[in-house]
């Protein structure tokens, strides 16, 4: 059972942002320090990637674990998730739709020759440096391939 009133829950939920989250900001700052230039929250690209490097056809998503269904099979029955216990049907449907949408977005980019990197916030919180290094290596590899072909 939710310990907050509907008004308190609404206020809490309205403060959750879909862009410029702390993990995204840290990630972007690190990329910038590595000399990697990008566009953020590109609405013209499917799924509005958090970071896009169009020249090398790279999109990066940094997704919230809860909203994008990370470990969903374990978490959806967890009693620790107050939201699920309060509005079980609503949240389960919403998160399932998000997971399906993420799969379609991934397939779209894959089928159109883009490289898609997707990180969950828990992953960036634990291993931000590893995520950055993986991204920089991927970008440098694609950059070298691009430079050789042009």
Structural contact between residues 100 and 70, judged by C-beta atoms closer than 8 angstroms = no
Instruction: Give the per-residue SS3 of the chain.
Output: CCCCCHHHHHHHHHCCCCCCCHHHHHHHHHHHHCCCCCEECCCCCCCCCCEEEHHHCEEEEEECCCCCCCCHHHHCCCCCCHHHHHCHHHHHHHHHHHHHHHHHHHHHHHHCCCEEEEEEHHHHHHHHHHHHHHHHHHHHHHHHHHHHHC
> Which pLDDT tens digit goes with each residue over 80-135?
455 555 557 777 788 889 889 999 999 999 999 999 999 888 878 788 788 888 88
User: pLDDT tens, 6-62?
Assistant: 787 667 666 665 667 888 888 899 889 888 899 999 999 999 999 999 989 999 998
Homologous superfamily (CATH) for 18-149: VSR Endonuclease (3.40.960.10)
Better pLDDT: 144 or 117: 117
In 3D, which of 95, 108, 110 has the Cα closest to residue 65? 95
């Amino acid at each position: 059972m939710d310990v907050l009133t509907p008004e308190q829950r609404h206020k809490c939920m309205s403060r959750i942002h879909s862009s410029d989250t702390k993990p995204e900001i840290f990630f972007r700052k690190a990329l910038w320090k590595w000399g990697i230039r990008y566009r953020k929250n590109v609405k013209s690209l499917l799924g509005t990637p958090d970071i896009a490097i169009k020249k090398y056809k790279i999109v990066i998503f940094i997704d919230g674990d809860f909203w994008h269904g990370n470990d969903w099979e374990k978490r959806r029955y967890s009693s620790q998730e107050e939201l699920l216990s309060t509005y079980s049907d609503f949240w389960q449907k919403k998160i399932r739709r998000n997971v399906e949408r993420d799969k379609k977005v991934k397939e779209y980019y894959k089928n159109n020759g883009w490289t898609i990197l997707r990180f969950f916030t828990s992953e960036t919180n634990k291993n931000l440096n590893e995520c950055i290094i993986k991204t920089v290596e991927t970008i440098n590899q694609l950059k070298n391939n691009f430079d050789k072909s042009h």
